[in-house]
Structures are given as structure tokens and as C-alpha cells.
Amino acid sequence: QVYRSLGLNQSEIDAYFTGPAFLAWNRMGNLRRWAGPLPPSWHLKQLYLQYRIVERMRSLGMITVLPAFAGHVPQGVLRVFPRVNATRLGGWSHFDCTYSCTYLLDPEDPMFQVIGTLFLKELIKEFGTDHIYSADTFNEMTPLSSDPAYLSRVSNAVFRSMAGADPEALWLMQGWLFQHQPDFWQPAQVRALLHGVPLGRMIVLDLFAESKPVYQWTESFYGQPFIWCMLHNFGGNHGLFGTVEAINHGPFAARRFPNSTMVGTGLVPEGIEQNDMVYEMMNELGWRQEPLDLPTWVTRYAERRYGAPNAAAAAAWRLLLRSAYNCTGVCVNHNRSPLVRRPSLHMDTELWYNASDVYEAWRLLLSASPELGSSPTFRYDLVDVTRQAAQQLVSSYYLSIRQAFQSHALPELLTAGGVLVYDLLPELDNLLSSHRLFLLGRWLESARAMATSNREAEQYELNARNQVTLWGPNGNILDYANKQLGGLVLDYYGVRWSLFVSTLVESLNSGTPFHQDQFNQAVFQVERGFIYNQKRYPAVPAGDTLEISRKLFLKYYP
């Protein structure tokens, strides 16, 4: 509405917004246009959804945060206001200027205040306000200058555009940029950006505080209030993971920090619907005076989760707690298992825990299934732990495949490759397909359900498929948002592994070396083929989870 009122036409607006699956990165100036344009019905449905969310939040006494103007503008602004001072930022991640390189308005250009204040006034008129606004100008984007005076002017301009619409405005900012580009954001630069806003009128999210806290090296954000946040998950990846010791002690250490400006705790995962226990624990810490006794807590957790005490289930959870959930040091949770990555001869199979602990937890959970099998949460956890065991098994078979190939042992290569491609991956796919929350069909159907026409449904489905696979037109951030879903394991990861194994077999048979570059070109066609295969995947589970898990166990338990 604001861009239209300023005189931009529809095609200029279409060239700016991304498709629905990538809007978060559009909002931070990283991406434009990719997987778009957004149909008019999208905006309308989002508007009604926003009304409902805001109303529900306020009825529960929650404080809403509305998005403010961060300075990124469509190129069309330059046509309407040819004298405006805007600079093109560089490409983001592995994207070139086709879909990246957003224009950033100079904070001192009068249009910055015009657009910023106009946008916020429209927003407040539409939704009312609780006086907190979010804006991220330099999230993973390098500023044009490292001059502290420039950085202060930018943050001051962003804040003034908020205050122009709401004199009580508070700016909520992600603190990710400071730990993401520490070479740029030295103490002088951080202080300048933070001090461009009056003290107390900004709240910083210390976004990845469990692994890379920023408050410690910035004297508690140089006096601006901050929230100690657990990020935990990237890309909505599946995979058992947690940093329970860091989470259990971190918030308390931050409170005790000299002149601490910490005002709360937060949860800021990129994707939810995984590792429930970690979120349960983090939510509890906000109400505690001191760290939990973790083994005692997790024993009670198992009982609460399944609705009954069970010695085997509790023992399983204590094993998971000390292994997969206890990553120490600087832990960054991108699932790098060979299962969900493009195959090569140099894959990462390292674990931060003993694989045997997960196998044993799997055995213990299965032994509890006669008693707990009717509990929906138990069935979910059984799928998740079996899935984790299968993920570990994929790594073992991968190592056998690589070893066989490198020692020119064709029979061993055929055996290990055959088991992986024709049995383990299909069995894992069966397991995932037996549970509603692990279905590719559910992911795709929920995207299609947003549509008001067949054409929109196709676009939304392509958005949903691209996000979990290629993440961009050419695999720009390949497998960043990998998921382990029934349908995806068979038709995407499975087909990829099949091509890899057959390429290695062909290489040994013909005596020609394996070329990763050639394989990458061939496998890209397979990956892209999945996005456009037009297959409808079931959104309803099939098969008995307990039976399938037991069958996998009897066949594969090491």
C-alpha cells in the first residue's frame, strides 16, 4: 500500500517481493524476486491472518512486535524519486544480483523518514500498537562503511522513523550480525550502532547466546537491554540435538554478569517441530532461580510426556540427555549427516556423542512400547529416535561404500550400496510415512491450502519443495533446510544416493576415475527433477509405527 501510494507500479512491486517461502530473507534485504511474485490474494490472506494473530496475542496479555522500515527499497523507488540517494548492497550468501543486491536508502536521505514513518503509521492505523518494532538493516549484509559515525547515523535514522510515527517506540533488533561478521563488527562499530539509539529505547536479541553470546564481549551491549536467546535450530532440520549444559547455565551467568542489562529469555529457532525436549527445558528456565538438576529433570520429563512412569523410557532419555543433547563447545546445529547431503567422497560423519548411546536408547524405548505404545508423544519420539539411529546407520554404510570404492572392492561396494539404496532408505521412508508429523505430503498440502487458484497452488508447492531442497534456483544454499520426511527420503535423498552408488560402480567397472564435478552436474538434474515431479504425496500416514520400528531394529540394531 505504501509503495503504491508513492507511485510505484505493480511490476516494480512484483520485482521486489520473494515467494512466501523466502519472505523472511526479503525482509532483511538478503533476497528479492526469487520464487515470486506474490499474488494479491496472498497479501489479503496475510492481512486477515495478522488481525487474528494480533487479537489472540493481546487477549493472552502478550506484547506484539510489528515490523518497521529497515531501509531496503524496491528499485522502482529510484524511478519515482530519481534524486534519492540509494546504494546497492552486495550479493548475499551464494546469490548473485539476479535475486540479491538490494537497494538501501541512505539514512540521511529525507525519503528514509518519509517511507519509514508512512509505513509505520499505516501499520498502527491497521493493527494498533504495543510500541515495539523490529527492523534489521544489516543482517548478514556488510554496511557500506565501517566508520562509527556512519553506523550511528544509520541506527539513528531507523529509530527516528519509528519515533516519528510513535513517540513511545522501542526498537527490537536481532544481534545475529555481531557474531556473524565479527571482523566487521569490532567493539567500536557495535557501540556506534547501539548508541545511535537512546539507551533503553532498543532491545537486542542475543540471538545465539547458548553458543556464541555477544553480551560478554560488548559490556552487556554497551548499556542497551538484551534478551538471552536460544537459537538451537537452523533450517528446521530434523536430527537429535541440544546444548543442554550451556542452556542450563547460560541465562543465570548472563544475569550475574557485571552491570548486566539482561531483561529476559527467548526462544528464536529458525524452524520448530523438532527436539521438543530442548524447548520444554528452555521455557522452564525462565521461571527458575538456578540451573536444573538435568538427570532428575529429564526423568520427570519422560513421565510427564508419556503420562506414566516407565523405567526403560526414563533410562532412554537419560542416555539421550548425556549424548545427542549434550553438545559442548561452540555447537552449530546444521544437520550434516550424509543422509541429507549431496553425496561425495569427502562427507562429514563426525558426531559430538557416542553413537552407541542412541542405539541403546532406541532399544530401551522399543522395550517400553508395550506399556506406552498408545501415547501419541511416545510414538512420535519412537519415530524420532529410530530416525536418528537410521541416520547414524547411513553414515556407517557410507563409510563402507567409500572404503570399498577406494580399495577397488566391487563386491563390497555392491553389497553396502545395495543395502543402503534398496533397503535402509526405503525402510526409513516407510517409518516416516507412518507418522503424520513426518510426512512430505503434509508439508506440501499445507502450502497448497494457502492458494485461491490452481496456479497459486502450484507456485506455493514449488516454494515449499525448493525451500527443503535446492534453496534457490541452482542449489544456492543446497540442503540448508533439509528435512527427514516420508516421500522426501525416497524420492530425493534416495534417488541421489542411488545415482552416487551406480556412478561409483560404473567407475570401478570401466576403470575411469570418479569426478565430483561431473557427478554434481548429473545429480543437480535429479534434485531439480524432484521439485518439478508433480507427484502428489499422501498427507495421511500409513503403516504401524511400532511394527516398522521393531522391524528396523531386528534388522539393523548393531
Domain of 340, CATH number, reads 1.20.120.670
The Cα 86–Cα 103 span in angstroms is 6
Compute the average pLDDT of residues 90-95: 95
Instruction: Read off the pLDDT of each residue in 177-191 and give the average, rounded to a whole number.
Output: 97
Span 113-121, average pLDDT? 96
Cα 467 → chain centroid: 10
Within-domain flag for 462 = yes
Q: Give the Cα separation of 10 and 206 in Å (integer).
A: 38
Domain that holds residue 496: 320-356+369-556
CA separation for the pair 301, 305 (Å, rounded): 6
Phi, psi of 386 (to 5 degrees): -60, -40
**449-460 mean pLDDT:** 98
pLDDT of residue 131: 98
Say yes or no to pLDDT of 10 above 90. yes
Does residue 282 register a pLDDT over 90? yes
Whole-number pLDDT of residue 301: 98
Instruction: Give how far Cα 400 sits from Cα of 29, 423, 512, 516, 519, Å.
Output: 44, 15, 20, 19, 20
Extract the C-alpha cell encoding 132.
515495539
Q: From 49, 125, 44, 38, select the one nearest 74 (Cα to Cα).
A: 38
Residue 329 has what pLDDT?
A: 87
Indicate whether 463 belongs to any domain: yes
* pLDDT exceeds cutoff 90 at 128: yes
What is the average per-residue pLDDT within 469-487? 98
Residue 108 — pLDDT band, cuts 50, 70, 90? Answer: confident
Residue with cell 556512519: 150
- Position 330 scores a pLDDT of 87
Pairwise CA distance, residues 228 & 550, whole Å: 41
Domain membership of residue 210 (yes or no) is: no
* Mean pLDDT, the chain, whole residue set: 97
pTM value is: 0.97
Residue 149: how many other CB atoms lie within 10 Å: 9
Residue 382 in any domain: the answer is: yes
Please check whether residue 206 lies inside any domain of the structure: no
Q: How far apart are CA 365 and CA 417, in angstroms?
A: 29
Site of grid cell 527499497:
73
The answer for residues whose C-beta is within 8 angstroms of residue 54's C-beta and 6 or more apart is: 64, 127, 128
Q: Under 8 Å CB-to-CB from 524, ≥6 apart: which residues?
A: 474, 475
What are 362-397's pLDDT values in tens digits?
999 999 999 999 999 999 999 999 999 999 999 999
Other beta carbons within 10 angstroms of residue 125's beta carbon come to 10
- Report the domain count for the chain: 1
Q: Report the alpha-carbon distance of residue 474 to residue 148 in Å, rounded.
A: 37
Residue 460 domain flag: yes
Bridge partners (DSSP) of residue 228 are: 206, 265
Q: Hey, which residues does 226 pair with through a beta bridge? A: 204, 262
pLDDT value at 237 more than 90: yes
Q: Does 24 reside within a domain?
A: no
pLDDT in the model for residue 136? 94
The confidence score (pLDDT) of residue 429 equals 98
Contacts of range 110-113, beta carbons closer than 8 Å, 24 or more positions apart: 111/77, 111/81, 111/84, 112/69, 112/71, 112/157, 112/161, 113/157, 113/160, 113/161, 113/164
pLDDT of 107 higher than 90 = no
pLDDT (average), residues 287-313: 97
Could you tell me if residue 172 is inside a domain?
Answer: no
Rg (CA), the chain: 25
| The one-letter amino acid at 102 | T
The pLDDT > 70 percentage for the chain reads 100
